[in-house]
Structure formats: structure tokens, C-alpha cells
Amino acid sequence: MVAIVQNLGARLVYHINYVGALTKLFFQTLYWTFVPPLKRERTYQQAKRIGLESLSIVSLVSLFIGIILALQTAYQMQKLSSEIYIANIIALSLVRELGPVITGLILAGRCGAAVTAELGTMKVTEQIDALETLATNPVKYLVVPRFLAFTFMLPVLTLYANLIGIIGGYLICVYRLGIRSSMYIHMTFDALQIKDLVTGLIKTLVFGIIIAMVGCLEGMRTEGGAEGVGKATTVSVVTSFILIIAADCIFTAIFYFIFP
């Protein structure tokens, strides 16, 4: 019994320290973001890696999500002779929830892991220590460009993912279910409100911050050589996934139940 309590206490202390480390890194990043000079070239390179190079996988996943939503919804709506409302459900599901969450998870798995592996390798090979020796702040040089790239590119990719998902639903509804193209487009825009779009984008900003902070923190505290890099990458992805889902749950409750 004592061992169980000690183990729970140790885990609680670890998680509190982890949240503290994330918070500290976040405020350090915010501070150095507004301290000139801004590393525009490095930020552009990271935005290209995170945004442009992720377009193909985001397109593929979003298209299939839209198709799956249309097929699953049609299966139920056909029983009620309400196929016309499939467009509403697809649009709201994508813009409010699936678009931001799926895009966030994709970038956490693809780019968050890459950031952790890159910084982790720099840490174990003492390149980060070398930056400090050269009077270069690692947060300014390494974290800020990735932070800006994630927080800017994730909302852009989410808007793109929403569009591709709606197109996927369009293909099924128009060419499989026989719904008129004009009717699908009308029902889609009729269902959406500015609030749905804004709340989805607010979520993506937070998701981008989560991915950037977790990825950079795990990379910069990596120890133990190649094995440590692998462990840090795994922890980074899993932690990002959990925090993204938890943040989505909190924001959904706030936006649609506490302040509807």
C-alpha cells in the first residue's frame, strides 16, 4: 500500500514538474519572439517543412475523412429519408471538430516527432551546449522559429483540410446519392456560422502551441544517446496526442455549453 501511494505521489510530482517546464518554455518563447532580430529565414524554412511538405498527407487523410463521414451518415439518413442533411453534418463535424483535431494529430505525429528527434540529436551531440558557448540563446535560435511555424501553419492547414473534407463528402453525395450539386453547396454554407470557423481556428492555435512546446521541450531535455532520442520522440508524440484531445474537450465544453 505504501509503495502504491509513493508511486502515485512520484507520478503526480513528475506531471506537475512537466507542466511547469512546459509553461516556463512557453513564456521564454513568447519573450524571445519579440526580441529582435527575428530569424525570418529559419522561420520560413520551418513553415515550409511543417506546412508545404504536409499538404499531401493532410489532403489524403481529409479526403478520406469526408468520404467516410458521408458514407456513414448516409447509412443512417437513408433510413429516415433525410439524405439532404448529410451536407450539414459533414460541414459542422469537419469545421468544429474533425478538421482541427485530425490536422493537429497529423502534424504532431509527422512534424512534432521530427522536431523532437532533431533537437534531441543536437542535445546528445552537445550542439545545443555549443550554441550557449557561442552566446546564442537556444530558445531564440531553435524554439522560436518552430513555434511561429506551428502556430501559423496549423490554422492554414486546417482550413485546407476542412475544404478537402467537404469535397470528399461532395463526391459521395452528388455522384453516389444523387443529391444536386447546388443543393449540397447551399446546405453546407447554410449550416456553417462564423462561430464554427472561429472556434475551430482558436483550437488550432492552441494545438500548434502544444505541439511546438512539447516537441521542443522533449528534444532539449533528451539524454542517453540514440536510445534517448527514440524515447523522447515517443513521449513527445504521445503527450501531444493526449494534450490535443484534452484541449479539444475543454474548448468544446467552453464554446458550446458554457458560453453557447
In SS3 terms, the chain reads as: CHHHHHHHHHHHHHHHHHHHHHHHHHHHHHHHHCCCCCCHHHHHHHHHHHCHHHHHHHHHHHHHHHHHHHHHHHHHHHHHCCHHHHHHHHHHHHHHHHHHHHHHHHHHHHHHHHHHHHHHHHHHCCHHHHHHHCCCCHHHHHHHHHHHHHHHHHHHHHHHHHHHHHHHHHHHHHHCCCCCHHHHHHHHHHHCCHHHHHHHHHHHHHHHHHHHHHHHHHHHCCCCHHHHHHHHHHHHHHHHHHHHHHHHHHHHHHHHHHCC
pLDDT at position 67, please? 93
pLDDT recorded at residue 260: 66
Note whether residue 27 is domain-resident.
Answer: no
Residue 64 lies in a domain: yes
**3: pLDDT strictly greater than 90:** no
Q: Please give the residue range of the domain that contains residue 150.
A: 40-258
Between CA 86 and CA 65 the distance in angstroms is: 14
> Would you say residue 129 lies in a domain?
yes
Residue 176 confidence (pLDDT): 84
- Classify burial at 189, counting beta carbons within 10 Å of its beta carbon; exposed 0-12, middle 13-18, buried 19 or more: exposed
Q: Is residue 16 part of a domain?
A: no
Measured distance CA(183)–CA(164) in Å, rounded: 18
- What cell does 147 get? 513555434
Question: Which pLDDT does position 108 carry in this prediction?
Answer: 93
Task: Report pLDDT for 100.
Answer: 93
Higher pLDDT, 4 or 121: 121
pLDDT for 11 equals 83
Q: Does this model's pTM top 0.85?
A: yes
Return the pLDDT at 239.
93
Q: Does residue 82 lie within any of the structural domains?
A: yes
Percentage, residues of the chain above pLDDT 90: 47
Angle (CA) 122-141-234 rounded to 5° is 40
- Residue-wise pLDDT tens digits, 151-194: 999 999 999 999 999 999 999 988 888 888 888 888 888 888 88
pLDDT, mean of residues 57-68: 94
**High-pLDDT (> 70) share of the chain, %:** 99
Task: Give the Å distances, CA to CA, from 143 to 23, 40, 211, 237, 258.
Answer: 14, 13, 12, 17, 34
Report pLDDT for 225: 80
Count how many domains the chain has: 1
Query: What is the average pLDDT value for the chain, to the nearest integer?
Result: 89
Determine, yes or no, domain membership for 164.
yes
Residue 259 has pLDDT above 90, yes or no: no
Task: Answer yes or no: is pLDDT of 68 > 70.
Answer: yes
Residue 87 has pLDDT above 90, yes or no: no
In a domain, 22, yes or no: no
Residue 175 maps to a domain: yes
Contact 166, 90 (CB under 8 A): yes
Return d(Cα 213, Cα 219) in angstroms, integer.
10
